[in-house]
Structure 1
Amino acid sequence: MSQFEKKLAEMGVTLPEAPAPAANYVPYVQAGDMLYVSGQIAKDGDTLLTGKLGHDMDVEAGAAAAKVCAIALLAQVKAACGGDLDRLVRVVKLTGFVNSTADFTQQPAVINGASDFIGDALGDAGKHARAAVSAPSLPFGVAVEIDGVFQIR
């Protein structure tokens, strides 16, 4: 078990199998030591975490959905690294999309659910640049989608 997975286990998190793509794209692309992971939607097991922030979902529930996205991102990184999450050098950037109403302005607080989780799980390797933006809708009505750029060895 990798050092990162030991920390995740201490946090009560076991990485699932990396989710399969839902359309005609690949889950990740490696270019040199950079790994670009496709957007991961808020899906916990078979349950889609749906809702619109500012309408029928609060910030706390949105942040929980963002954490689910972060777990899926790490599952993709593990798959890209042949099962060895210790090949992860650092999280470079996350881009978070929040399904929200036009007047909702707390997208950063929602995406903090992913950023805080990544920071807690990965320490210094989890410090990353980030964008948090509103979207009028997301695939399948999910509340959050996040993609990421990672450096691996």
Structure 2
Amino acid sequence: MAGKIDARLAELGIELSTPAAPVANYVAFVKSGNLVFLSGQLPLVGGKPSHTGKAGAEQSAEEAQAAARNCAINIIAQLRAACDGDLDRVKRVVRLGGFVASTPDFVDQPKVVNGASDLMVEVFGDAGRHCRTAVAAPCLPLDVTVEVDAVAEIE
């Protein structure tokens, strides 16, 4: 039987893929007490980057925001794995860290990372409200536009 969060994902038309496996010497997540620290997720869809290039050049702020949303979907997929398949165990999304590959004059990193923040609230309600950072980066792995990491509290 699907839980409340799975039902909400279905209502939003979001299907979670199998989480991406780490490609270097790290793990996808670490549990410490009731906290889950999730490694940075890229905007991968079907195993390929959905958005590449810099915000302010190849990607508009709105396109980069869509990339951040895709990162958040991948965070939720990793979180499901950390919760042994039961997203109803998520008590709170504690923090998001957003990295935006952008041109030196691009200043809308917070608007871009809203793509991830907004999805967390859409999916988890008030438990999805979190603190965060939104910073510029000169480049990111695979030339993606955005990378997002997270910390969540689980039961």
Where in structure 1 are there 5+ consecutive unaligned residues? none
TM-score, length-scaled by structure 1: 0.98
Distance 2:133 2:27 in 1: 22
Q: What residue number does 2:101 align with?
A: 99
Distance 1:114 1:40 in 2: 11
Alpha-carbon contact 1:98-1:132 (below 8 Å) kept: yes
| Divergent runs of 4+, >3 A | none
Q: What residue number does 2:47 align with?
A: 46
Distance 1:23 1:41 in 2: 14
Among candidates 72, 75, 88, match of residue 73 of structure 1:
75
SS in 2 for 1:37: strand
Provide the aligned C-alpha RMSD in A. Answer: 0.7
Alpha-carbon contact 2:109-2:136 (below 8 Å) kept: yes
Where in structure 2 are there 5+ consecutive unaligned residues? none
| 122-131 or 43-52, larger mean C-alpha shift | 43-52
In the TM superposition, what whole-angstrom CA distance separates every residue of 1:99-150 from its partner, at most 9, and x where no partner exists?
Answer: 0011100000000001111111110110000110000000010000000000
Q: How many residues align?
A: 153
Q: Work out the percentage of aligned pairs sharing the same amino acid.
A: 49
Distance 1:141 1:113 in 2: 19
The amino acid across from 1:26 in the alignment is V
TM-score, length-scaled by structure 2: 0.97
Alpha-carbon contact 1:5-1:14 (below 8 Å) kept: no
In the TM superposition, what whole-angstrom CA distance separates every residue of 1:50-78 from its partner, at most 9, and x where no partner exists?
Answer: 11001111011101000000000010110
2:141 matched to 1:139? yes
Among candidates 127, 130, 134, match of residue 129 of structure 2:
127
